[in-house]
Amino acid sequence: MTPPQRPPASGLFRRIYLTFVGTTIVFAVLIAITIYAASNRFDAAWVDSVDEDVDAAQAALLSHIKADDSDALDRDLAALADRHDLRFALRDPRGDLLAGDRTVPPPPRHHALRRLHNGKPIVRRRDRFGPPLIHWGLMEEGDRRIVALLTADAAEPGRPRWVLGGIALGLLLILGFGAWPLARSLVRRLAAVEDGALQIADGDLSHRLPLPSGGPKDEVDALAATFNRMAERLEGLVSGQRILLANVSHELRTPVARMRVLVEILEDRADILRERVSAERDEQIVDRLRRGLGELTDDLREIEALIGDLLTSGKLELAADGGVERGRIVVAELIERLGDRFAADYRAEPEELAIEGDAMLLERLLSNLLANARRACPDGALTIRAASDGGRVVITVEDEGPGIPPENREVIFEPFSRLDGARDRDAGGVGLGLYLCRQIAKAHGGTIITESRPDGRSGARFVISLPLPAASAES
């Protein structure tokens, strides 16, 4: 098996690094453009344009002041305000408001007003991004005496900062959206690797993670390829062990069968020998021999059962079709036959309920459960129930034994697992029965679980869910 082609070590690193650097550069450029545009919007040219409009309106404003026409003053100031998106306030030299917006800051102190006598406005910049505060001194032509003070301020106090904050937020969103495709792609691909790894961890060693054509492109693909290689290797090892176990089990059948024949011959000889001996001591020896041969027969029977379980397990695991020979099975007839054998109360609803499956394997499944249940409660009641539930048939087996602790309800379905750790004949085998039950259920597209009895009484409850045939499920 050749190792997977390893991509350049910097593939994923380069992608993340370039995405980060590129997004940062775009972010920095946009910030610089925004700052430059915002700081140059209210430059000297803009101040000159406002100053020109004020100069053009100065004569009309002075005329309205002389006529004490406040309405005309308000109209002219409103026109200036709309044209430049500013607020204007007109005050007399003492600072009393003549017209305009009262919230506009007052004019500067008297020593600063002297700068207005030359006809140039006073410009006070409070920040780089908002319009400056501008003061004009309105004077009659040829007269250097200031008649009124005109002040212009931003239309909405604090709006430049809000605008800048909004722009910054927009740029952050751009940065976030720039990183989103990379983050989404990585998370989606890593989630696919995680899902595939979980399937492999759950025992589906045939599952493979998808890879791009041409081999791995980056570290995530390399990780997926490594998981695939691991799963392939594990599948080969497990398959080899299963084949070896199946072959060994098959080869053991012949010597075990020979031993059983030999034991049967010895039992017959012991019976003949007992008829011929007359001394009481000789009879005791023959009886002990007979008991020993009986125990040996029981041991051989257990070995044969174990070999049969191993061969069945190997058949279910290695066969492409699951080793299932499907045929129509009437559930009521199946549980009736097993119920009579194990003295269990049984009922199927409806009685004509039928499934498709391997009759021998399904009978093996239920007989294993009932045999375990009978060992758990030799004198207690056993119940078998079967009913349709949607497109499936649900078969439950309940006993009145000690039950199964919640922490062991999955462990018992593992091979060679027993709650008491025993391996003697009285304890009931070596722990392959329930493992085989789950294999049979899985081969039929079903499941088997164990849970507490719904009535709260002591005992175990096994629930088998098997799919109904398509026609039965539709009806």
105-120 pLDDT, tens digit per residue, is: 887 666 556 677 777 7
Tell me how far apart the alpha carbons of residues 22 and 181 are, in angstroms, rounded to a whole number: 13
| Residue predicted with more confidence, 140 or 208 | 208
Tell me how far apart the alpha carbons of residues 376 and 381 are, in angstroms, rounded to a whole number: 11
What dotted CATH number matches 42-157? 3.30.450
Task: Tell the residue number behind the tokens 């919007």, with chain if given.
Answer: 41
| Residue predicted with more confidence, 215 or 65 | 65
Rounded to the nearest integer, the mean pLDDT of the chain is 80
Query: What are the pLDDT digits (tens) for 436-463?
Result: 899 999 989 999 999 999 988 999 999 9
Tell me how far apart the alpha carbons of residues 62 and 138 are, in angstroms, rounded to a whole number: 7
Tell me how far apart the alpha carbons of residues 412 and 448 are, in angstroms, rounded to a whole number: 12
- Measure the CA angle with vertex 261, ends 260 and 262; round to 5°: 90
Tell me how far apart the alpha carbons of residues 214 and 177 are, in angstroms, rounded to a whole number: 30
Tell me how far apart the alpha carbons of residues 310 and 248 are, in angstroms, rounded to a whole number: 10
Q: Which of 178-182, 372-376, 388-392 has the lowest mean pLDDT?
A: 178-182
Question: How many residues are there in the chain?
Answer: 475
* Domain residue spans of the chain: 42-157, 327-474
| Residue predicted with more confidence, 361 or 177 | 361
Q: pLDDT confidence of 382, banded at 50, 70, 90? A: very high
Q: Given this model, what pLDDT does residue 164 score?
A: 61
Question: Is the pLDDT reported for residue 342 higher than 80?
Answer: yes
Question: Is the pLDDT reported for residue 83 higher than 50?
Answer: yes
| Residue predicted with more confidence, 107 or 319 | 107
Query: What are the pLDDT digits (tens) for 244-253?
Result: 777 777 777 7
Average pLDDT value for residue range 391-413: 92
Q: pLDDT confidence of 466, banded at 50, 70, 90? A: very high
Q: Given this model, what pLDDT does residue 41 score?
A: 64
Q: Does domain 327-474 have CATH number 3.30.565.10?
A: yes
| Residue predicted with more confidence, 141 or 385 | 385
Question: Is the pLDDT reported for residue 336 higher than 90?
Answer: yes
Q: Which of 121-130, 207-216, 424-433, 445-454 has the lowest mean pLDDT?
A: 424-433
Q: Given this model, what pLDDT does residue 296 score?
A: 86
Question: Is the pLDDT reported for residue 26 higher than 60?
Answer: yes
| Residue predicted with more confidence, 405 or 309 | 405
CA 429 to chain CA mean position, Å: 40
Average pLDDT value for residue range 155-166: 60
Highest-pLDDT range among 10-14, 101-105, 307-311, 391-395: 391-395
Q: Please choose, from the candidates 148, 116, 150, the residue with its C-alpha nearest in 3D space to the C-alpha of residue 133.
A: 150
- Measure the CA angle with vertex 251, ends 433 and 295; round to 5°: 60
Q: pLDDT confidence of 1, banded at 50, 70, 90? A: very low
Question: Is the pLDDT reported for residue 339 higher than 80?
Answer: yes
Question: Is the pLDDT reported for residue 334 higher than 80?
Answer: yes
Tell me how far apart the alpha carbons of residues 442 and 300 are, in angstroms, rounded to a whole number: 30
Same fold yes or no, 42-157 and 327-474: no
Task: Tell the residue number behind the tokens 């497109």, with chain if given.
Answer: 391
Q: What does the DSSP 8-state code read for residue 13?
A: H
Q: pLDDT confidence of 335, banded at 50, 70, 90? A: very high
Q: Please choose, from the candidates 293, 233, 298, 219, the residue with its C-alpha nearest in 3D space to the C-alpha of residue 6.
A: 219
